[in-house]
Amino acid sequence: MLAYIVRRAFQSFVVLLVVGLVAFSMFRFVGDPIDNMLGQERTQADIERLRGELGLDLPFPVQYFKFLQGAAQGNFGVSYRQGRPVSTIIKERAPATLELALVSGVLAITVGIGLGVFTAIRRRGFAANAIMTISLVGVSLPTFLIGILLIYVFSVELNLLPSFGRGETVMIGGWSTGFLTASGLKALILPAITLGLYQMTLIMRLVRSEMLEVLRADYIRFARARGLNDRVINFRHALKNTLVPVITITGLQLGSIIAFAIITETVFQWPGVGLLFINAIQFVDIPVMAAYLMLISVMFVSINLIVDLLYYAIDPRLRTEGKTT
């Protein structure tokens, strides 16, 4: 087991290195940061000097190596635009994104699994079919449109919820949280729904189809023949067996909740890392982009590792080496 984790960690490390390399090879196509950093009245000498100072005249593998050197010591460089260390900036911004992702992830999983089980059990019922039809909307509407619609209905027309920002936040040991104030919680609702709706409908449809499959299995028939009640059969025997494939997809989806928070954050002007990244691209702020991309890949890689470990937790067949007696 430990050997497995070590092996996976090593693989993850290689993945991170490759992601970084690809990222660095792309940066030169984003634009020239010097254009933005120096004003109209720049001389060729200024340009050369700044380029030299930032190390942009080096070939990209060397730039990448220098970045890695710094990153290994926890130093991700200084933002071109803000002139502050990137790690400080990300530390300020990360709580907003993580809280948003957490809320929409929990929302997507609980509501998604709940509705999935419901629509599978009441397959022929009116409510289940209505939910299935409505869920198509969730799958097919693009995120930004949902966000704008929600803002229009709940902020503009009904004036119930704020249309942008995080509301008031409270600092707890360097972590700014919006969970503890009424306005912070209110501000979370619309972005969380916007971000989680697609994942929610996806999980729901996945749980439903897996569940329908499992409910036909012999051990479910046998469980009925043993006289167990429906609640035990549906939620203990059937649901647990649907989880393995569901976890795979859900894990990947949770990764993309964080990664694709960019769009939601833009629509709601949510002060998170996604918005930071968008601004960084506009300004060709290479250190910020590099750090963000690395952060996202660490996130994906560790979610994948957790998913694989969860398989072990759920399915005993993977735990014991295939011995039968």
Partner 1 sequence: MSLLTIQNLSVEFPTRRQLFTAVDKADLSVEPGEIHGLVGESGAGKSTIGAAVMGLLERPGRIASGEIMLKGEQISGLDADAMRGLRGKKISMIFQDPLTSLNPLFTVREQLTETIQAHLDLTPSEAKQRARDLIDRVGIPDPDTRMDQYPHQFSGGMRQRVVIALALCTEPDVIIADEPTTALDVSVQAQILDLIKELARERQVGVILITHDMGVIDDTTDRVTVMYAGKVVESGPTEQVMGNPQHTYTRSLIAAVPRPTIKLHRFPQISYGGRETRFAIEDLASHWPKVENDPDKPLFEIRNLTKRFLQRRGLLPWDRDYFTAVDDVSFDIQAGEVFGIVGESGSGKSTVARMIAGLHPVDDGSVTFDGKLVSDLSDKAALNAYRQDIQMIFQDPFSSLNPRMRVDEIVAEPIRHHRLMEGKAIKKRVDELLDQVGLGSGAGQKYPHEFSGGQRQRISIARALATQPRFLICDEPTSALDVSIQAQILNILKDLQEHLGLTMLFISHDLPVVRQMCDRVAVMKEGKIVELQNTDDLFASPQTSYAKELLDLMPKLDDLSTEGLNAAE
Which of 240, 258, 289, 302 touches partner 1 by CB under 8 A? 240
237 contributes a contact to partner 1 by CB under 8 A: yes
What burial letters (b/e) apply to 42-61, b meaning 16+ CB within 10 Å? Answer: eeeeebeebeeebebeeebe
Which of 16, 96, 190, 223 touches partner 1 by CB under 8 A? 223
Which of 129, 224, 235, 312 touches partner 1 by CB under 8 A? 224
Contact 284, 32 (CB under 8 A): yes
Contact 77, 86 (CB under 8 A): yes
Q: Which is nearer to partner 1, 223 or 286 (CB)?
A: 223
Strand partners of residue 171: 176
Q: Which is nearer to partner 1, 152 or 222 (CB)?
A: 222
317 contributes a contact to partner 1 by CB under 8 A: yes
Per CB under 8 A, the segment of 22-30, 184-192, 262-270, 312-320 that binds partner 1 is 312-320
Q: Which is nearer to partner 1, 74 or 322 (CB)?
A: 322
How many angstroms separate the CA atoms of 168 and 186, rounded?
Answer: 10
Which of 21, 228, 252, 278 touches partner 1 by CB under 8 A? 228
33 exposure class (CB count in 10 Å sphere: 0-12, 13-18, 19+) = buried
Per CB under 8 A, the segment of 166-174, 175-183, 192-200, 316-324 that binds partner 1 is 316-324
Cβ-proximal residues to 167 (8 Å cutoff; 6+ apart), any chain: 178, 181, 182, 183, 184, 185, 186, 187, 188
Cβ 237 to partner 1 shortest distance, Å:
5
Which of 44, 73, 140, 325 touches partner 1 by CB under 8 A? 325
How many angstroms separate the CA atoms of 82 and 263, rounded?
Answer: 22
Which of 97, 241, 297, 304 touches partner 1 by CB under 8 A? 241
Q: Tokens 């928070």 appear where?
A: 261
Cβ 241 to partner 1 shortest distance, Å:
6
Which of 39, 59, 173, 316 touches partner 1 by CB under 8 A? 316
Residues 191-220 that bind partner 1 (CB under 8 A): 217-219
315 contributes a contact to partner 1 by CB under 8 A: yes
Cα torsion 53, 283, 259, 61: sign: negative
How many angstroms separate the CA atoms of 252 and 274, rounded?
Answer: 18
Cβ 105 to partner 1 shortest distance, Å:
24
Which of 152, 222, 235, 312 touches partner 1 by CB under 8 A? 222
Contact 81, 285 (CB under 8 A): yes
Cβ 88 to partner 1 shortest distance, Å:
42
Tokens of 205: 């449809």
Residue 14 C-alpha from the chain's centroid = 21
Residues in contact with partner 1, counted by CB under 8 A, come to a total of: 27
Residues lying near partner 1 in the complex (CB under 8 A) = 217-219, 221-229, 232, 236-237, 240-241, 314-317, 320-325
